[in-house]
Structure 1
């Protein structure tokens, strides 16, 4: 992840084959996950907090005495009874019970920190107990730290039909730019977020005249540890207020910072995220928000040094309307959760974060998470890789993948997060202002809150609230039209099937395209879908010279008459990697979720062969797994 002040880089030639229908091309079910998640541990770190999930009906589940006894036996089996130095007078390694988590897991604390190898040995021994379903380290997540922008440009003349917020036209390219923006303004004719609650799990929120703070006191600070929260005592407290997360003074500087994580002032990250989602709009001041009549429920999970997974998991459950022991139930359950935070590690359905997200989705809450800013595969970051989340990558004003954005098949969709440099090109070496950044509400305090202000940041943290805001707009529109509330799965489909194709070649995949607010909201209430260009194929005639970026898609059609046989739909030649999806009568979705057939081999030689096709129009969607060029498309049949 990049620091707030500076950037730190670390969130289809094969023979033709018969393609199987999608239903037959997938596995019979999810692969079993290991009982121990070691992916979140690092060689240069140490650990003293562990999360254990015991099987239902086990004696240990929810029983602190049984848990401590179980762990004592595991410690004995590891040989980690004394400190690793084996120095004279070393105290035995002990364990204490912390609390029972909302997802049913147990949090424990060891009396000293363990190295990666020691932690791995302990977790392996814990998992050896048949009563244990899963064990993991309680890792520290961070705000997906971003690049800070120069100052706001001066207000410019208001455009006809635009809101009267003075800095809107001059700075918020990311709302309207037809190339890399999210096409927000046009969608305000259909919805404004009214009646929707969006929970922002972040650093909390600060006082700001351009934010609706009506749910700030109804939010909650889920940080238990006093060192992380900055309070005098352990424990959670009401209110979602950001009291600062600086690390450039003691006691945090010596324990939270290193060469990869330099000391920082408070970044007011949650305030910036909240503003992108729902900053007050057309009120004659500042900037605008996407779903500006939605309510933001701030939930503080990140403080000094970051925030523990155990707190974040509880916060996910609580924000979505679930019960958490010791905390009053949330009276304003969120329909959308935004998490512009993350850390290293693969997230499975067995991890506490994965379980909490599944619980939230089960309650009808859509969970949106940042892909991360490490220019790496998002599959190796959490919560970006958690099952069920909508994972958001970042593009700049030209539509290119932002150079810092994590990527890969885990990423669902891209949104404007800022490319930092001119033409989104880091080799230019010169920041673009304002086009390189996303602009929103902040605070000018360097430690504790100071004065309300506005500022720009760039990162997947900024891309993510664009998508969360669009989800709120969809929910608001369907509610206003008296339609059934879309499920999280239906919302995912709405976003992916209306995404705008990348306008330029994308070097690495960051989803199916760029989020299109107007198209998604319009489709959610039954409006006409944008007309997609379809290239007609003639039987047996090769169409060459096809190209696109990673995630780019092109649609082709072939009319097949009655009596035809041996229908072959192919791509071949050129460079890169593509997948093809095939359906009849209507085009397949960009993600292929409704395709009848698909072909997804490495490289560009893909084929769907149907011996006895029914008569009709066959649509072939070509999707770039990686950037591709000079690819040919062919459809032919025999009569």
Structure 2
């Protein structure tokens, strides 16, 4: 049923009586909250979300809700001189649908100006039956900067070592990325490589609310058809109708046709600097960072490489509406949405690398949706935004309960574009774009996050790899790490951490920034290894505190790890001992050996090292070792398995 109210036809009767509902107006009537902060662009507004108070007629009756909105619309347009002069067509309020949060979407038959939209919102909020009202704002993928390099599929994993600095420890080790001619000290990595020795994401589903996903040989697409396209506007989805559709596939989000210009009813306004763009394949890139297949002789790696990605399309041409995103949050976490089959694969983690202007109040529809997801145990991870501004001014970055992520570069500095402020929980690698995370200069490949992508201009074509930079890229580092935490605790038979507990785990274990950021971006830089360890009840503590003890002359076989993974061992040497021999041998892969007395060694801090190429047979001998603890650190140059580690000395 379509409910429609024509502005002006009901003004007299409704202003003389009480709006349907249980609350009458008066000095003691409850006051509604409203949000006009997202009314930022002069593009016109024709969609609004109204939350009615429990117990009101409007809460349960679409016709009563539409009638009340029509009255508010009549009061609004009565002040419009053009309408009174007959220069603007009669304006109507049309009921849209009931959202999963219980709010109502109402559409207006023409786009209202910014001032008209604000007046309408205030008029609706004056109704004592209303709890909250906001525009149905158009959210965007966080506006990433894209690297110029796009790579074809190759049959090996060399791209991981060459490009994915962001998964390695923030040890300060110099790295030369891609075709860069300069090395940069890695102080901004997420330490995912070490976390792979503890977890792989098995048994966890991560929903990616984004542009959808494309065919790619390096991504598990087993849940792609099980995903859903929540876009309910045919212009935005690119479909011939406004109907939603099964499947989480990305059919493109390009805006390079004239119909997408604001002058033609679209969203691109060149007069304010808007640019028409080819399809971004944003959702594929984000999904790859979270769960790209690894150790599969193809391309790059993902953080939780055995987790399942559930793609949910909420962004299309011009972006995606708040109302659709709110429904998608509820559905992805296992809640019910009218008109959509229930999700058979509820997600334990939701990634939203998207956002828009306007603060997110505790009673906003997105906040209600996030609270609904959290009540089902789902952690919601969101991007802080790329405007170089306080994240409190953006949604969903400022929504209560959201785990909001800022971006740093390889140098560990706040990326110049990253939003900041008290709503940010922590930072993660998003790419600094320029050398040493500067704000200007020539771009470097160490300035980007590398992942799966597609080569198509409009529709998807060839699977490929490429770099992007933004808080959109920082966010999936945290989502993937949450999947590692959940996978590890499940495998260990431990209780599943709540979303609140996961936030605490991540912030408590975040590594300190190498220097105080110019703006606050949370507790520190994501340390996936430390977070998973803490979730398991382990505390690596001081360097070497989690070392495995070696006995004199006793071989420890069967050691395995990932490329850039680190295994630490300790042997206690008595005074007067001679010829301390530390070695690794056998198995497959390639490792290097770093040795130090008194504290754990690393590839940048050591007394001795053995780094023979393409072998596990490494050895260090110390003729007259000092008494005390000696540490040997095995670092994976490539994935390795069945390596034996041994330490021996001649007793005094």
1:115 deviates by 1.2
Residue 417 of structure 2 is matched in structure 1 by 404
1:260 deviates by 3.4
1:91 deviates by 2.4
Structure 1 stretches of 5 or more lacking a match?
Answer: 1-31, 157-162, 534-639
- SS of residue in 1 equivalent to 2:444: coil
Is residue 330 from structure 1 mapped to residue 343 from structure 2 by the alignment? yes
Normalising by structure 2, report the TM-score: 0.74
Rate the CA distance shift 1:155–1:135 in 2: closer, same or farther, 3 A. Answer: closer
1:67 deviates by 1.2
Give 4+ residue runs of structure 1 displaced > 4 Å after superposition.
Answer: 152-156
Larger radius of gyration: 2
Indicate which of 420, 423, 431 corresponds to 2:436. Answer: 423
- SS of residue in 2 equivalent to 1:124: helix
Write out aligned runs for 1:603-618 (5 A): none
Indicate which of 370, 374, 382 corresponds to 2:387. Answer: 374
- SS of residue in 1 equivalent to 2:60: coil
Rate the CA distance shift 1:508–1:329 in 2: closer, same or farther, 3 A. Answer: same
Query: C-alpha deviations, 1:452-501, integer Å up to 9, x for none?
Result: 00000000000000000000000000000000000000000000000000
Write out aligned runs for 1:482-561 (5 A): 482-531=493-542
Residue 275 of structure 1 is matched in structure 2 by 288
2-side partners of 1:33 and 1:150: how far apart?
Answer: 52
2-side partners of 1:529 and 1:186: how far apart?
Answer: 12
2-side partners of 1:78 and 1:220: how far apart?
Answer: 37
Residue 97 of structure 1 is matched in structure 2 by 95
Is residue 231 from structure 1 mapped to residue 239 from structure 2 by the alignment? yes
Rate the CA distance shift 1:79–1:85 in 2: closer, same or farther, 3 A. Answer: closer
Query: C-alpha deviations, 1:402-441, integer Å up to 9, x for none?
Result: 00000011110000000000111124x11111x1000000
- SS of residue in 2 equivalent to 1:251: helix
1:88 deviates by 3.6
Rate the CA distance shift 1:322–1:172 in 2: closer, same or farther, 3 A. Answer: same
- SS of residue in 2 equivalent to 1:150: strand
1:253 deviates by 3.1
Structure 2 stretches of 5 or more lacking a match?
Answer: 1-29, 171-186, 545-652
Rate the CA distance shift 1:302–1:33 in 2: closer, same or farther, 3 A. Answer: farther
Q: Is the 8 A contact 2:31 2:131 kept in 1?
A: no
Indicate which of 335, 346, 349 corresponds to 2:362. Answer: 349
Write out aligned runs for 1:178-197 (5 A): 178=170, 179-197=187-205
2-side partners of 1:240 and 1:447: how far apart?
Answer: 17
Write out aligned runs for 1:388-399 (5 A): 388-399=401-412
Write out aligned runs for 1:450-469 (5 A): 450-469=461-480
1:448 deviates by 0.6
1:117 deviates by 1.2
1:86 deviates by 4.4
Residue 74 of structure 2 is matched in structure 1 by 76
Please provide the CA RMSD for this pair. Answer: 1.9
Q: Is the 8 A contact 2:31 2:126 kept in 1?
A: no
1:297 deviates by 0.2
Write out aligned runs for 1:154-233 (5 A): 165-178=157-170, 179-233=187-241
Residue 141 of structure 1 is matched in structure 2 by 139
Residue 265 of structure 1 is matched in structure 2 by 278
Q: Is the 8 A contact 2:169 2:192 kept in 1?
A: no
Rate the CA distance shift 1:436–1:225 in 2: closer, same or farther, 3 A. Answer: same
Rate the CA distance shift 1:154–1:139 in 2: closer, same or farther, 3 A. Answer: closer
1:82 deviates by 6.3
1:532 deviates by 9.0
Rate the CA distance shift 1:154–1:263 in 2: closer, same or farther, 3 A. Answer: closer
Residue 296 of structure 1 is matched in structure 2 by 309
Residue 56 of structure 1 is matched in structure 2 by 54
Write out aligned runs for 1:35-46 (5 A): 35-42=33-40, 44-46=42-44
2-side partners of 1:432 and 1:360: how far apart?
Answer: 39
Q: Is the 8 A contact 2:329 2:370 kept in 1?
A: yes
1-side partners of 2:276 and 2:41: how far apart?
Answer: 21
Is residue 441 from structure 1 mapped to residue 452 from structure 2 by the alignment? yes
Rate the CA distance shift 1:266–1:153 in 2: closer, same or farther, 3 A. Answer: closer
1-side partners of 2:107 and 2:394: how far apart?
Answer: 24
Is residue 306 from structure 1 mapped to residue 322 from structure 2 by the alignment? no
1:93 deviates by 1.5
2-side partners of 1:525 and 1:164: how far apart?
Answer: 33
1-side partners of 2:464 and 2:474: how far apart?
Answer: 20
2-side partners of 1:473 and 1:396: how far apart?
Answer: 22
Q: Is the 8 A contact 1:155 1:169 kept in 2?
A: no
Rate the CA distance shift 1:129–1:470 in 2: closer, same or farther, 3 A. Answer: same
Residue 131 of structure 1 is matched in structure 2 by 129
How many residues of Structure 1 are paired with residues of Structure 2 in the alignment? 494
Q: Is the 8 A contact 2:213 2:311 kept in 1?
A: yes
Normalising by structure 1, report the TM-score: 0.75
1-side partners of 2:100 and 2:61: how far apart?
Answer: 14
1:120 deviates by 1.2
2-side partners of 1:234 and 1:59: how far apart?
Answer: 28
Q: Is the 8 A contact 1:62 1:104 kept in 2?
A: no
Q: Is the 8 A contact 1:280 1:288 kept in 2?
A: yes
2-side partners of 1:164 and 1:262: how far apart?
Answer: 37
- SS of residue in 1 equivalent to 2:447: coil
1:85 deviates by 5.6
